[in-house]
Amino acid sequence: MAIEGALQGDAGLIHQAIAQDLLTAVMLSLAETRKMVDEMFQKKPGPTAKA
């Protein structure tokens, strides 16, 4: 799911994939994971990221 999201530039898929990661779920709330993904898209807009 994360790879598909990255290839499509779909932050929603990446949000879902990271939310399902057990270690991330233990360390961060859903709001924190959403913020983290949003920050990654803002700081590293690669050729697959939708601007």
Tell me what pLDDT residue 29 has: 92
Count of domains forming the chain: 1
Residue 48, domain member (yes or no)? no
Residue 51, domain member (yes or no)? no
Tell me what pLDDT residue 25 has: 87
Tell me what pLDDT residue 32 has: 93
Residue 49, domain member (yes or no)? no
Q: What range does the domain containing 17 cover? A: 2-43
* Tokens matching residue 35: 């913020």
Residue 25, domain member (yes or no)? yes
pTM: 0.64
List average pLDDT for each run of 10 residues in the chain, which is 51 residues long: 86 89 90 88 62 50
Contact 31, 25 (CB under 8 A): no
Based on the number of CB atoms within 10 Å of its own CB, is 46 exposed (0-12), middle (13-18) or buried (19 or more)? exposed
Tell me what pLDDT residue 43 has: 66
Residue 14, domain member (yes or no)? yes
